[in-house]
Structure 1
Amino acid sequence: MHWELFSPLTTEAPESATALTALPEGLFYGYSVYTTFKMPLSEQVIDLHLQRLKKDCKALGLSWRFADHQILGQLKALFQPSRPVFRLTVLADVEGYAAFYDSPGQALPTRLIVSARQAPTATNTGLRLKTVAHQRPLPTVKHGAMTETILHKRQALQAGLDDILLISNSPDNPLVLETSTANVFGIRDGVLRSSDPVRDGCLPGITRHRILEAAEALRVPVDLSPFSLAELLDCQGVFISNAVSGIRKVEHVDGQIIAWQPSAQRLMDSLSHTVNT
């Protein structure tokens, strides 16, 4: 049982605690996986999100007991143009810390939470990034343990920047990983560069997957070899991708301007058009 002791509008303790509906313990320990996307979206792309969600559940030992067609039906019923961004979160639905370990060989019971919010304001301005030597735990899983990443991004925003660029903790030759919530791409001499999630340790984003498919369809060469920060800064164009804000160009990294070339701009525009149609 959970209680609310203080209301959001006052610091005064109430005469009696207000009982809340039972909450899953995964909420308190960050033991969850999630996916976020912007509606309307084709059923095929939503299925990509659901398949990754299932894979991430398996990685954390969370059970999947939800019917895909029912989720899709509910998303369509809940969709409102004013709140098009959906987040699907699967939490461990247990009571008490010890319950995580009661049956270690079995998948944990789960609860699916669906939430919707407004879309971020669209802008064509380039992103200003700050490098941070940090790698998320379980980097290939989209999980709820985001505290360190959020703190790093808050510090970047306080410095007047837009986001962080996570790089590997290697002082000699740091590798590009991802931003706080997006994958990173570079363009050099018509070649599309990006990190490899499994080898380098970053999220295998759904929009990243679709960009690589678009590159193949457009016969754009792709290089997924280790992508150093020095190589990124030498690119003729750099952009990021996620399922909510789509594809956005990067203006500078640590104050170093990205020398966008017209050919790189055309390639990014072609990839964006292919992904969005």
Structure 2
Amino acid sequence: MTQRTVYVNGDYVAEQDAKVSVFDRGFLFADGVYEVCSVLEGKLIDFPGHMRRLKRSAGELEMGLPWDDDALLTIHRELTRRNALEEGMVYLQLTRGSAGDRDFHYPGADTPPTLVLFTQAKSLVDSRSGREGIRVATQPDWRWARRDIKTVQLLYPAMAKMAATAAGADDAWMVEDGLVTEGASNNAWMLTHDGTLVTRELSHAILPGITRTVVLELAQALSLRVEERPFSVEEAQGARECFVTSASSFVTPVIAIDDVPVAGGRPGEVARKLREAYIEESRRRAV
């Protein structure tokens, strides 16, 4: 098996040789943020949007980011080249670094951050879930109150996904006060029977998805009515269609929620059209 090359603090190294301090705050406190850029045909998808969100996440945590977009693009491209990645993802993780010991207080501004990137090969366009849809199980949203920051503290989403798997589903939808916030690693959508596309408005309650932003643009191009508002589990179960969006799954139909079939238990036509449009637009915008 070919070993991947990963990027760690300025160096491209074999994955088995990659090292980060045991005192790194990402390890000790989940004091870090991350981004995921998809790759199609060796090119990066939605890169500018991901970098804007990275800067916002770092800024919200008062975390230094001493690389500009051009430098980060160069790293992404070089890592993609070295790993001969044609289709999949590039993960970037930025932490506050290590001051050499454990302390709840942020280290001094002169402490260099830790920057790690690695690739992951995955079939994105021709995926089973994209063709056949997924089943979701609802879970209480017990995450922290700043879900708009893309932090590395992903324990509860992992727990929710495992609970969904135990319930015979493919993924989880988070629910708070009877309303869907988002998926464990994606944004949630539904299509009402009058043809209105609904997804939750941006706030501290959800992550501002980059794929979500593009899909909103595509929906307008397809002359779909859009409402940004919360919706209940029951409303979604009775919807004409449901789907999720994310960088690693594009637009993926939801065919059941808590074992209640949606759209007759089959992928919906609007989700299919949006998925095709997103893939076409992604290829056009790729860098």
Check whether TM > 0.5.
yes
Tell me the distance in 1 between the aligned counterparts of 2:162 and 2:20. Answer: 31
Structure 2 gaps of 5+ residues are: 1-18, 281-287
Aligned to 2:134: 127
What pairs up with 1:64-143 in 2 under 5 angstroms? 64-79=65-80, 80-81=84-85, 84-95=88-99, 96-98=101-103, 100-103=105-108, 109-119=112-122, 122-123=127-128, 124-137=131-144, 138-143=146-151
Residue 154, structure 1, aligned to residue 165, structure 2: no
Aligned to 1:220: 224
TM-score by length of 1: 0.82
* Residues 42-93 of structure 1 deviation map (CA, whole Å, 9 limit, x = unaligned): 6672010011000000111111101211221222222123663110111111
What pairs up with 1:1-277 in 2 under 5 angstroms? 22-23=21-22, 24-40=24-40, 45-79=46-80, 80-81=84-85, 84-95=88-99, 96-98=101-103, 100-103=105-108, 109-119=112-122, 122-123=127-128, 124-137=131-144, 138-168=146-176, 170=177, 174-188=178-192, 189-198=194-203, 201-260=205-264, 265-277=268-280
* Residues 9-36 of structure 1 deviation map (CA, whole Å, 9 limit, x = unaligned): xxxxxxxxxxx65352222321111011
* AA matched with 1:268: A
Change (3 A) 1:175 1:28: same
Tell me the distance in 1 between the aligned counterparts of 2:73 and 2:118. Answer: 14
Other structure's SS at 2:157 match: helix
Let me know the Cα RMSD of the aligned residues: 2.4
Bigger Rg, structure 1 or 2 = 1
* AA matched with 2:34: Y
Tell me the distance in 1 between the aligned counterparts of 2:52 and 2:37. Answer: 14
Contact 1:35 1:88 in 2 (8 A): yes
Which stretch shifts more, 265-274 or 60-69?
265-274
Other structure's SS at 1:197 match: coil
Contact 1:251 1:258 in 2 (8 A): yes
Which stretch shifts more, 90-99 or 63-72?
90-99
Which stretch shifts more, 68-77 or 242-251?
68-77
Which stretch shifts more, 83-92 or 180-189?
83-92
Contact 1:61 1:107 in 2 (8 A): no
* AA matched with 1:258: V
Contact 1:127 1:248 in 2 (8 A): yes
Contact 1:130 1:164 in 2 (8 A): yes
Contact 1:38 1:84 in 2 (8 A): yes
Which stretch shifts more, 122-131 or 267-276?
267-276
* AA matched with 1:118: A
Structure 1 gaps of 5+ residues are: 1-19
Other structure's SS at 1:142 match: coil
Tell me the distance in 2 between the aligned counterparts of 1:107 and 1:47. Answer: 27
Residue-pair matches, total: 250
Tell me the distance in 2 between the aligned counterparts of 1:164 and 1:202. Answer: 14
Tell me the distance in 2 between the aligned counterparts of 1:83 and 1:43. Answer: 9
Residue 135 (structure 1) shift: 4.2
Structure number with greater CO (CA < 8 Å, separation at least 6) is: 2
Residue 108 (structure 1) shift: 6.6
Contact 2:37 2:45 in 1 (8 A): no
Tell me the distance in 2 between the aligned counterparts of 1:45 and 1:155. Answer: 31
Change (3 A) 1:251 1:157: same
- The structure 1 segments of at least 4 consecutive aligned residues displaced by more than 6 Å after TM superposition are 41-44
Which stretch shifts more, 69-78 or 116-125?
116-125
Tell me the distance in 1 between the aligned counterparts of 2:240 and 2:111. Answer: 47
TM-score by length of 2: 0.79
Q: What fraction of aligned residue pairs are identical, expressed as a percent?
A: 22
